Chains A and B, each alone.
Chain A
Amino acid sequence: MSEATEAEHLLDLLFLTNWNTRVVVLGVVMLGAAGGVVGTFMLLRRRVLIGDAVSHATLPGIAIAFLVATGLGYEGRSMPVLLLGALGAGLLGIAVIQLLNQGRRVSHDAALGVVLSTFFGTGVALLGIAQQHASASVAGLESFIYGKTASMLQADAILIGAVSLGTGVVCLLFFKEFRLVCFDPGFARGRGLSVLKLDLLLMSLVVSVVIVGLQAVGVVLVIAILVIPAASARFWTDSTGRMVLIAGGLGALGGWIGAMASAIAPRLPSGALVVLALGGLFLLSLSFGGRHGLLHQAIQTGRRTRRIRREHALRAILECLEVTTEEECTVEAVAERRGWETRQAQAAVRALDREGLAVVEHPGRETTVRLSESGRREAEAVVRRHRLWEHYLIRHARFDSGHVDRGADELEHLLPMDILEQLEAELSAEGSASGLPSSPHRLEDRPGGEAPIA
């Protein structure tokens, strides 16, 4: 293939000029969306792995449907026949899991494992038998294991589309009930909702999505479209509704990327490509998710660390000034008060300087620092909080006054405003009218200083 035709081929794909590609891509996109939506509820119900057991359990059904159909003289690879077999075996799998789990005979996860592996093993063995008997026509069946979009027909895509649409509609209608059952099934039952019926409804959605997804994604990997988009969506939001939408969107996107890749590389199993795309989206969500992503958390932690260091520096300066009754103090004194290295103290006061809270003089040796007007206000607020908290700990938590400084040091930065007000009201006796409450311990003899907070 020359470069020009290859580029053309890619463009064809991208704009879905080929009718069959268009059908396949659309089908997988809808499948991904439906998997994301229904997977979110299963994930929140903590039952998502049952999807894996169902999908593995379908394989013997597919093989038996093929064997029986060929035995009776029909075309064994007819999709409706195979999917019907898959459905039967999948439902049988669920029933066996329920039976094993009843009365806690076998724990739920063990039941899942037993059914998943036994059914799948049976399926693989049956496929082997089918291969021996009808080696020519059985080739298509293997694509069920890892998925093969290339073998999808228009009718298959329409089936996927219909099931996905139906799943979406049901989830929209029962959104509120599904959410309640996932969050608090006991309360739902108390309010007269039939938890069993809702669970069955949810389960039948899972089974439908898994069955129609078998061809495109394969028995082994179809669980990915249930779990991965839902798990990824949690990094982006704290609302169930948005989580469902985002999971649907991510599932659709992963399906689109996977189906396109599969059209470009038709020999690779399409299930693997879809899963790789979803996995990539998961990594992106884990890293950059706006609510619980790693980057977001790192930024939050960094911000808090900087704030704590700033408050420590402000308080150290103000207390130095209180003790010496001078207008400025040396950075060494600040460092000593905090138990910091001089270098750390230098960095902290320079940061205050940049904010306009302090003025650093004589940079280099003998650096001194003095508070600006706004810096003093800020520092007084910090010291006030610290001392109120110290008094509170002594009075209510019975801390020893020698140890109270350390305890207050660690907790004060996390105090919300309302608690602060409460403390102030309770301890108003401690504060003087002019502003700062007095320190409950002598400021001069601080024991050791705290562990430095970098």
Chain B
Amino acid sequence: MDKEVRLDCVYVPSRDIVARDIEGELIIVPLVSGIGDLEDELFTLNETGRAIWDRLDGKKKLSEIVSELCEEFEGDEKEIESDVLGLTNELLKRKIVVKTSTE
């Protein structure tokens, strides 16, 4: 299985988690066994993570997400790309997102 996160791939939240928006705070609750390291833990994202998460819609490639974020936040492209790849990698490792397609 390809575990490497790629900019030309599309990722989507896994069906094995429940993402809840509680008073503006994103809480990721594992639904099945094997999500994350400890099963009695929940996960949350910081502001940067949340901006990326909201775009992981199963339609946009990571490269498109990078472009969108660059435009919106007027940040350094390399830095934003590194953030997007970093977060997606962490989420993929924990099976919180899954890859949907590869170009």
User: Are the chains A and B members of one assembly?
Assistant: no
- A residues at B contact (CB < 8 Å): none
